[in-house]
Amino acid sequence: MNDSNNIIDKLKDIKASTVIQIDFTPYILSIITIVLILIVFTILFLYLKNKKRIRLTKKQIAQNNLRNLDFNKDTKQIVYSFSINGYESLDDKNKDEFEQIIRKLEPYKYKKVVTNISSDLVSDMKEYIKVRV
């Protein structure tokens, strides 16, 4: 009987197997965070890629330069800038008017020492830029 008590005592030490519960919450949260970060970076990348695609044409750049032309600068710089950007943004509709202004600007281009542009010519240039460009 001693042996049977001994075996029963030994059997009392053996416990039934238990189910181990693993907490997956930190793993799930980290995976969700990584996915969200990837989504944000993807959206940001696509936005910047599309933003770079929007490029101005030569005509649009020339029109912006004409609109931002500073008439207080050097006379030659004004004349050359108006001429170059005017030719880039030129339409068939306003070709004659533009060429008349360019003919009036010819003396200011080729002289070494240049006086200021006449106020009438400056007003013609400003009106052309305001109306035609």
Residue 41 vs residues 28, 31, 46, 109: alpha-carbon distances, Å: 20, 15, 9, 52
Question: What is the per-residue pLDDT for 29?
Answer: 94
Select the more confidently predicted residue: 97 or 35: 35
Question: What is the per-residue pLDDT for 38?
Answer: 97
pLDDT tens-digit series, residues 60-111: 888 898 899 888 888 888 888 998 998 888 888 888 888 999 998 888 887 7
pLDDT tens-digit series, residues 114-125: 788 888 888 888
Residue 38 vs residues 27, 41, 45, 47, 132: alpha-carbon distances, Å: 17, 5, 10, 14, 48
Question: What is the per-residue pLDDT for 70?
Answer: 86
The whole-number average pLDDT for the span 19-46 is 92
Q: Could you tell me the pTM of the whole model?
A: 0.59
In percent, the amount of the chain with pLDDT more than 90 equals 15
Question: What is the per-residue pLDDT for 90?
Answer: 85
